[in-house]
Amino acid sequence: MGEIEKKDKKKHEKEKEKQIEKEISKIQNRHNNEMQALESRIENHKNQLIREEQNKIAEIELKYKNKGRELERQHRAEREHYERIIAGKSGKKTIIATKSEN
């Protein structure tokens, strides 16, 4: 009877060890999947922040480029205005070459 009990006990212990190993494997797989999902979310968020930053930089560049063009137009208009005034006083027309950048 003792030998049968030992065999049954060993069999039961082996089954218990297999079950424990199976559960450990499940937990490891779940942890790995969770870590991969987290890394993916981090990467996606990082890429989103990079895109947003690039868009903001592009908006700022466009804003200042447009502001520069507007200043150039204002300067050109002022210069032309004063050239007309000077030309009117002296009685002759002066033409000053202007650089236009559009």
DSSP track, the chain: -HHHHHHHHHHHHHHHHHHHHHHHHHHHHHHHHHHHHHHHHHHHHHHHHHHHHHHHHHHHHHHHHHHHHHHHHHHHHHHHHHHHHHHHHHSS----------
Task: Examine the pLDDT at 97 and tell me if it is beyond 60.
Answer: no
Domain that holds residue 95: 1-102
Give the chain's domain count. Answer: 1
Prediction pTM value:
0.56
pLDDT at 92: 54
pLDDT digits (tens, 9 = 90+) for 2-54: 788 888 889 999 999 999 999 999 999 999 999 999 999 999 999 999 999 99
